[in-house]
Structures are given as structure tokens and as C-alpha cells.
Amino acid sequence: MSRPNTLTKGKLLNDIHAVIERSGLSDGGCVSFHHHLRNGDGVMNLILTALGEAGLKGLHLEATSLFPVHAPLVALVEKGVIASIATSYMSGPLAHAISRGALKTPVRLRTHGGRARALDSGEQRIDVAFVAASAADCRGNLSARTGRAPFGVLGYPMADVGAAQHVVAVTDTIVPFPACPIDLSQDRVDMVLQVDRIGDPAGIGSGATRPAMDPQSVAIAGQAADVIAASGQLIPGFSFQTGAGGISIATAQAVGQAMTTHGVQGSFACGGISGFHVKMLEAGLFRSLMDVQCFDLEAVASRSRNSAHQSMSASAYAGPHVGGAVVDELSAVVLGAAQVDTDFNVNVTTRSDGLIIGGSGGHADAAQGAALTVVTTRLTAAGFAKVVPKVTTLTTPGSCVDVVVTGAGIAVNPANAALQDRLGAGGLPVVSIQDLAAKAAVQASQATPPRASGRVVAQSEHREGYVLDEIRMIE
């Protein structure tokens, strides 16, 4: 017999004011969001605009990533609705505004694993975690695999849910109880806010998720695959991560070809997952995919139909605090770079002139975890050298990088002498990193600008939580 219970008042709301009232969110509070809808996300703009209209000020925004679609947040920064930001990646107008001094408080740029560490450890508390869901039921069971804008997995907000005083699901699709399949259970969700539209699923796959076809990229990808083959890592049980850039995908194709040729069955591929990972799984090259976010709709569909396509939380993926994360089991990772320097340090956070264009995401986590960390880059881009004496911004320490592949030569970190020997013995064109920097300098038509000297607008944080580098205001 059901009895009245003060705790069971309905979770289903359709008004942000009710969320504010129930959560007690007030000026200076911390709100968090995740980025599985990527550049198709409609939730962060909608909620933060509504919080601003409700009169809230001075909020701390704890976002997993920020994209060009979040341009409307610039106005909220200017109005003082948002007073500070921590994120793992930011690009587009908001990032540019930060670089030009829009915020007084420096933005904290964390790695995906470092962010999970900060939340799990209690270093960063959240007042209200907003969790986008493509479908939800009235009790707060959330699905990322059904509804109008399915995005596949809920890897990132798991840490937010654990750290938050209040968890608010945001959905445009209410389904009968129980939601199926459930990606986040009702006992972790306090309220369900129904909105017209959580975003545009077409925006999920907005990044480059096709292999690069130009000769230079194909050459770099081929060399990266050769490095992996020669490294001794390409053995049964091989595990692999790449980004979603064109060179990374071309590298994955070349590695897949090498696996087929050598009859190597791998164990898993991990990270953000795209259609090309799905093809490798379905071709039997890997036993499992470990997916923290889907990079395209092919990955979303695979997650729905294939139990070997597994989800994982940010902590499981990349946490430096969990006694061994999935990245720590990687045989090899192939990562991109905006700049690499002669100490093998990598910058994926700013342009040469210091303008914020990204951030670590999982870059520094995977680089530290993997047995073999391969960084691919051209020597120059837009006239600027990409292999330089000193990176403009330090994202990933050179001590985590084994080898830099440029298409114009391969440089091995001297700390990994065994790898240097293997690649040399394999006949690969190994040169010194200084040689690559010299070639890049010759090829560059523009000088690397001096470091900006304005006040600090952002801090690049090591995954363990200390500040690796500072990013300064650009005039």
C-alpha cells in the first residue's frame, strides 16, 4: 500500500525555477555539464541562459568541454552570470573571448582524468550537475541510446553525479517507466527537467572523423603505423587509442591493415569512439571497445546493438587516482599536436600566438598511460613551425611522449633508448628532434610569436592537479 512519503514528490519538472528552488542554487554556485552532444549541444546554452534570466550571478561552470556552439556563453560571461570556468577543452568564440580577457578568474584547463580526480577526491564540489539525456522516465532513469538525439554513452558525467549535491537530468523525451536501456539509474538523479530540444544529433559527428587523404597525411599515418609495428607492441592483445582527427584515423586504418597482415587480434580500442573503431571491432581486430563518448552516429548505433561495445566513466577511462585506468592498459596511443618541442613537450591547448584553441581532453592521460605514445604532426601549419624549441603552452609533458612522427622524419625520445634501437633496426628514418625543429624552422614562413605577456587567463593543469603552465591574455 503506497503511503505518502515526503521524499517521493515528483521528480519531473518543466521549469528551471523549480530546479533553482529545489536545489537552493544561488549566486556563486557551481554547475556542471557534459559534452556528449559535442557541437550539437543545446543544453548548456539553454540552462545557463535560463539561470541568468532568473537573476543568478557569479556561477562557476564545470564543463567537460566547450565548443563553438557555446558562443552564447560569451554574453553570460560579460554579464557576470558566469564568473569562472573549469573545462578539459574549449574552442570557438568562448575560448577566444577568454584569451582576450573576458574572465577575471583564470580558466582551469584539466585533463579528462584530472577532472574526474578533482571531483572524486572532493577537491571540486558541484552544487547542481546537469546531465543531458536523450530519454528519461519519471523516476529519473536516463538513457543515452533512445529518444530524438541519442548520443550513445554517458561516460563523462558519472564523476559529476558522484560529486554533486543535486543531479538534474535534462531531456526532450520522456518515456514510460522504466526507461530501457538505462545508462544512469534513478537513484542517482534528483530531478528531471523536460525541455523542447536537447540538441542536434548531427552536431555529434561534427569533428573530422574521416581518414585524411592528402599525400602528406597519408605518409605520416603510414610512418606512425610502421613505428607501432616496429616497436614490438603489435602482438596478440594489442590495445589502441587514437583521436578523431584525419591523420589519427588514417593511422588507425594502417594499423588495422598491419594487424590483419600479421594475424594479430587485439584486446580493445578506447577513448572517444568513431565508426572506424566500430569497423575494426566488427572485423574481429579487437575483442571490445571501451567508449567514454561517441564521436559519430555509427558509434551510437554500435553501442546500442553490440554488447562488446562497452561504456566507461571518465574515472575508469583516464583517472590517475583509481589504481590503474583503462589508459594504463594501452599498448599504443596516437595523438596529435598543435606544437611539439625539442623536449618532446606537446601543446594542444593554444595556437603559436597563445590563443586558446583546445586543451588536453584525454591527451595527457593517454600519453602517460600508454606503453607507446606516438605524436603525429606536420612540420608546419599556416606558415608556423609546429616542431619548435619550446612549446607556447605545455599540455602534455615530454616525459610521457616516446616518439614524434612528422612524415619528414621520426624522432624518438632519448629516454626510450630501446625504442630508438628497435626503430633504427627496422629501417625507419629516425632523426633527432633537434633536426626536426631545424627543418621546421626552415620550412616556416612566419616566426613563432613571443609568449603573450598579459595577465593569466587560463592555467594548464597536470592530471594530478598542479599547474603545468599559464596562458596569458592576448591583446
The binding site for a copy of itself (CB under 8 A) comprises 1-3, 5, 7-9, 11, 139-140, 176-178, 180-182, 185-187, 190, 237, 239, 267-268, 287-288, 290, 307-308, 310, 312-313, 315-316, 319-326, 328-329, 367-373, 399-402, 413, 415-416
CB of 81 to a copy of itself, least distance (A): 29
Contact indicator for 292, 154 with CB cutoff of 8 Å = no
CA dihedral 427, 432, 437, 441 (to 10 degrees): -70
Among candidates 120, 312, 332, which has minimal Cα distance to 226? 332
Nearer to a copy of itself, 268 or 276 (CB): 268
CB of 316 to a copy of itself, least distance (A): 4
Cα angle 447-448-449, degrees, rounded to a multiple of 5: 105
The residue to which cell 625520445 is assigned: 413
Nearer to a copy of itself, 329 or 435 (CB): 329
CB of 185 to a copy of itself, least distance (A): 5
Among candidates 325, 355, 339, which has minimal Cα distance to 100? 355
Nearer to a copy of itself, 100 or 287 (CB): 287
Of the CA atoms within 13 Å of residue 334, those in its CB half-sphere come to: 31
Nearer to a copy of itself, 217 or 347 (CB): 347
Nearer to a copy of itself, 71 or 322 (CB): 322
CB of 389 to a copy of itself, least distance (A): 21
Contact indicator for 440, 411 with CB cutoff of 8 Å = no
Contact indicator for 138, 274 with CB cutoff of 8 Å = no
The residue to which cell 577568454 is assigned: 98
CB of 203 to a copy of itself, least distance (A): 27
CB of 201 to a copy of itself, least distance (A): 21
First to last CA, the chain: 67
CB of 158 to a copy of itself, least distance (A): 9
Nearer to a copy of itself, 216 or 267 (CB): 267
Report the distance separating Cα 200 and Cα 212, nearest Å: 25
Nearer to a copy of itself, 318 or 471 (CB): 318
DSSP assigned state of 145: S
- The secondary element (H helix, E strand) that includes residue 344 is none
Q: Would you say how long the chain is, in residues?
A: 475
Nearer to a copy of itself, 54 or 322 (CB): 322
CB of 191 to a copy of itself, least distance (A): 9
Q: Cα dist. 331→232, 281, 300 in Å?
A: 10, 17, 25
Among candidates 47, 58, 100, which has minimal Cα distance to 83? 58
